[in-house]
Amino acid sequence: MSAPPPYNPNSSTQPPSYPSPGFQEPYPQAAPCIIVHDVSTPQQQPQLQQMIIVGPALGSHNARITCPHCKTEIQTKTDKKPGVVAWVSSGVLCFFGCWLGCCLIPFCIDSCMDVDHKCPNCDAHLGTHKPM
């Protein structure tokens, strides 16, 4: 083994400076990243299109629409049945002491009923109108 070269203070090269103890780099140095793209076989992704069909707003009465199933212009057939609003209203009335028959009043009010809309031609279910 040979000895290191002697240190000459008049030389133009400066010795490397080292950070003091306790010094930390503000950001750690990341290793270089290489991204390789294979251009020999391009893969095409299928283009998907999302289609949202917004139908007419079905209310509590018959509606004049084109049936999406049989494609004819119809006036919907409606069927009313008690919904969540009728049952909750009846329960609240029972809780407050109206249990002798007054609690059945929500089952007679049209605005508390769910309304099912059906096509009179093909009998397909077209939608349900729920209050609130």
Residue 82: what pLDDT? Answer: 92
Average pLDDT, the chain: 75
Residue 58: what pLDDT? Answer: 79
* Residue 86: pLDDT band with limits 50, 70, 90: very high
What residues make up the domain containing 100? 64-129
Residue 44: what pLDDT? Answer: 61
Q: What tens digit of pLDDT does each residue of 1-60 get?
A: 677 777 666 666 665 666 555 555 555 555 555 555 555 555 666 665 554 444 567 788
Look at the chain and report how many structural domains it folds into.
1
Residue 85 falls inside a structural domain: yes
Asked if 90 and 107 count as a contact pair (C-beta separation under 8 A), the reply is: yes
Q: Which of 58, 53, 44 is nearest to 127 (CA)?
A: 58
Residue 48 falls inside a structural domain: no
Residue 51 falls inside a structural domain: no
Which is it for the CA torsion 71, 74, 78, 84, positive or negative? positive
* Residues 12, 15, 16: CA angle, nearest 5 degrees: 130
pTM attached to this predicted model: 0.52
Residue 102 falls inside a structural domain: yes
Residue 39 falls inside a structural domain: no
